[in-house]
Amino acid sequence: MARDERETEKTGLFRKIIRSILPVAVIVGALVVVALLVSFSRGQRPERVVTGDPAVLVDTIAAEQRSLNFTVVSQGTVLPRTETSLVSEVSGKVASVSADFVAGGFFRKGEVLLLIDPSDYETALKRAEAALASRKARLADEQARSDQALKDWRNLGRSGEPSDLVLRKPQLQDALANVSAAEADVQKARRDLQRTRISVPYDGLVREKLVDVGQYVTPGTRLGTSFAVDTAEIRLPLSASDIAYLDLPSATDAETKRFPRVTLYSEEGGIRRQWDAQIIRTEGVVDVASRVVYAVAQVTDPYGVLGQSEQEELKVGTFVRAVIEGRSAENVVVLPRYVLQSDNTVLVANRDNELEIRTVTVARAEPEWVYIIDGISGGESVVTTTLDAPLPGMKLSTGNESTDSPRMSAAPERGEGS
């Protein structure tokens, strides 16, 4: 028993010694390892290389000077130049309707679209012609009586001129007036008969049909709506800043020869279509609500039915985007809009790959493009990378430099951009 107690005391004493010595041993071992590492590294320290300021990697594009026409973009709805509301001028029952008198039907100039029963008007014309013939006979009789009265006066050997009553001039004038009235009645009867045949004086399309066979109409009854297809017009709103880049025809000068070309665009079902048009006039007033001026573009033979145009059909009511050709400009540098800084400066990488901050003269700035007429020469490298703190003279690395100017869309290249 006593032996076991002594062994237990020895074991406890050993553990206390281990707990006291182990931390110290770990610390001493760590110090030894660090000392060995430091001693080893002194013989293999890398050489320090002294370099200048690091170059900033940027992307650039080459500025290219070109001659172009400024353009202005607007939009509007295609409308017919001539539109007619067909209204009955006589009363009667609709006797027949042309097969072309339907919504969307095409008709030729003078074609009878609708016929109102002409029976009563044919009868009225015959009565008017009969009355005219009767009154002409009465006029001839009175003329003969007047001539005979003059002969009798002379045969009786009377001196002087006979009076109007002797020559029956009042009766003659009354007969002449009756003839004139009868002729007017005949003309009216003929017009009424002609008005039973509804037609319009142009080639066109029917927009709306409101009556049909058997319906009774009275003067003022709406029959339908039609419009001419020789030309279509688009009213294009233009702001004061837009007008500054356009040569528009004067609203008052009939001899003005400036007719800017217009390209119309429309997209339907994912298919983009375009048409050629021309500005023919301005409306000559400023809209008081929107402060814009409306220019009117014209398209010839929009439906292609008259043989005057080979363009694709342009339907009335189509909403189109219009690109109007404006004034020309020489030696203009066209750059993406985002390269222009807020203070009208552009970052340029010179031949020594150093940064220059150029103040430029902007002829026109658009959402996508900027047109510069001074401050940059053709062939210079324009920085397109955004720099947080650009400083003149800072070193640039243009390893990814693009020697070509940005790929322009067809709009800026042809002067048709917005």
Which tens digit of pLDDT belongs to each residue from 248-277? 877 666 555 668 899 999 988 888 999 999
Q: Looking at 304-376, list the stretches that DSSP marks H as alpha helix, in order from N- to C-terminal side.
A: none
Residue 197, both tokens: 């045949």
Q: Rounded CA gap, 341 and 375, in Å?
A: 13
Q: Rounded CA gap, 104 and 107, in Å?
A: 10
Task: Give, to the nearest 10 degrees, the angle between helix 169-194 and helix 119-155.
Answer: 160
Q: Rounded CA gap, 340 and 127, in Å?
A: 85
Q: Rounded CA gap, 88 and 74, in Å?
A: 40
Q: What is the pLDDT of residue 369?
A: 87
Residue 62, both tokens: 């080459």
Q: What is the pLDDT of residue 247?
A: 83
Query: Which amino acid does the sequence have at 3?
Result: R
CA atoms within 13 A on the CB side of 306: 18
Write out pLDDT tens, residues 325-353: 988 888 889 899 888 888 889 899 888 88
In the CATH hierarchy, which top-level class contains the domain 60-68+329-414? mainly beta
Backbone torsion region of residue 246, taken as left when φ is above 0, otherwise alpha when ψ lies between -120 and 50, otherwise beta: beta
Q: In what order do the strands lie in the sheet with 92-97?
A: 197-198, 114-116, 92-97, 216-217
Beta bridge partners of 226: 84, 206
Q: Rounded CA gap, 343 and 225, in Å?
A: 57
In the CATH hierarchy, which top-level class contains the domain 73-80+228-328? mainly beta
Q: What is the pLDDT of residue 148?
A: 82
Domain ranges of the chain: 2-42, 60-68+329-414, 73-80+228-328, 118-195
Cβ atoms of 325 and 259 within 8 Å: the answer is no
Nearest to 218 by CA among 368, 118, 116: 116
Nearest to 129 by CA among 175, 187, 172, 90: 187
Q: What is the pLDDT of residue 50?
A: 45
Residue 267, both tokens: 């997209």
Q: What is the pLDDT of residue 145?
A: 81
Residue 93, both tokens: 């029952």
What values do phi and psi take at 290, rounded to 5? -100, -10
| Spans of the chain below 70 pLDDT | 1-15, 18-19, 22, 24, 38-53, 251-258, 399-418
Strand, helix or coil at 133? helix
Q: What is the pLDDT of residue 52?
A: 55
Residue 101, both tokens: 């008198």
